[in-house]
Amino acid sequence: MIKDIENGLEELKTKSLKTIQCETAMKWAGRAIAAHLLKRPSTEITEFAHEAIEHAALCGVPNVLETIRAAFDEIGVEI
């Protein structure tokens, strides 16, 4: 836990909330696509995909949301 706090402190010194939300959206999208490719349970894929969409909306950069939706459509991840 201490390492996580240290990582959080370092991150917050250099990144805005907007940047963190955008990066988090992409990370969750990557998880959703990876879970889909690994044929993980659909509930898991859906949870990851929903987190990606939520963080993309919160980051406020239209291109992030559009990129994630396009990737999900291309791979076949349903939201």
- The residue extents of the domains of the chain are 16-75
Reported confidence tier of residue 24, pLDDT bands at 50, 70, 90: very high
Alpha helices, DSSP H, located in 1-79:
2-14, 17-37, 42-59, 62-75
Q: Under a CB-based contact definition with an 8 Å cutoff, are residues 36 and 78 in contact? A: no
| Average pLDDT of span 11-39 | 97
Phi/psi at 77 (5° precision): -80, 120
| Average pLDDT of span 11-40 | 97
Q: Can you tell me the distance from the alpha carbon of 53 to that of 13, in angstroms, rounded to the nearest whole number? A: 26
The predicted structure's pLDDT at residue 77:
96
11: helix, strand or coil = helix
